[in-house]
Amino acid sequence: DAGVIQSPRHEVTEMGQEVTLRCKPISGHNSLFWYRQTMMRGLELLIYFNNNVPIDDSGMPEDRFSAKMPNASFSTLKIQPSEPRDSAVYFCASSYDQGALTGQYFGPGTRLTVT
């Protein structure tokens, strides 16, 4: 299995631009998570889906952030408009049954820099 696939791996954009991050979870997993990681705040859960349905989006910072999961094999995290404080590494993770027993499998991350 290729593991969780994220694209792009690096993104540099100017403030105000729209940014779309993509994730392909591991086949057969029914839970998908989006995280943000910074030096200051560590790892933060933004939102997670179970069976393609958003379950908890309380970690989404504000309306500029939105996430979708149109099918079991694809999810996007969109930031519009982007701001310099959004610069971070964004991880996607997937698991079976919310990872209660098996843990979550993380992708390699997308390093976002907003100038």
Partner 1 sequence: KNQVEQSPQSLIILEGKNCTLQCNYTVSPFSNLRWYKQDTGRGPVSLTIMTFSENTKSNGRYTATLDADTKQSSLHITASQLSDSASYICVVSGNNRLAFGKGNQVVVIP
Q: What is the distance between the alpha carbons of residues 44 and 48, in angstroms, rounded to a whole number?
A: 12
- Of 4, 21, 23, 32, the one binding partner 1 (CB under 8 A) is 4
Q: Does 55 bind partner 1 (CB under 8 A)?
A: yes
Q: What is the distance between the alpha carbons of residues 30 and 42, in angstroms, rounded to a whole number?
A: 25
- Of 16, 18, 43, 85, the one binding partner 1 (CB under 8 A) is 43
- Of 34, 60, 105, 112, the one binding partner 1 (CB under 8 A) is 105
Q: Does 42 bind partner 1 (CB under 8 A)?
A: yes
Q: Among 91, 90, 113, 94, which residue's Cα sits nearest to residue 104?
A: 94
Q: Does 44 bind partner 1 (CB under 8 A)?
A: yes
Dmax over Cα atoms in the chain, in whole Å? 41
Q: Among 40, 21, 31, which residue's Cα sits nearest to residue 80?
A: 21
State which residue, 17 or 102, has the beta carbon closest to partner 1.
102
User: What is the nearest approach in angstroms of partner 1 to the Cβ of residue 10?
Assistant: 11
Q: What is the distance between the alpha carbons of residues 91 and 88, in angstroms, rounded to a whole number?
A: 10
**Residues lying near partner 1 in the complex (CB under 8 A):** 4, 41-45, 55-56, 91, 93, 100-109
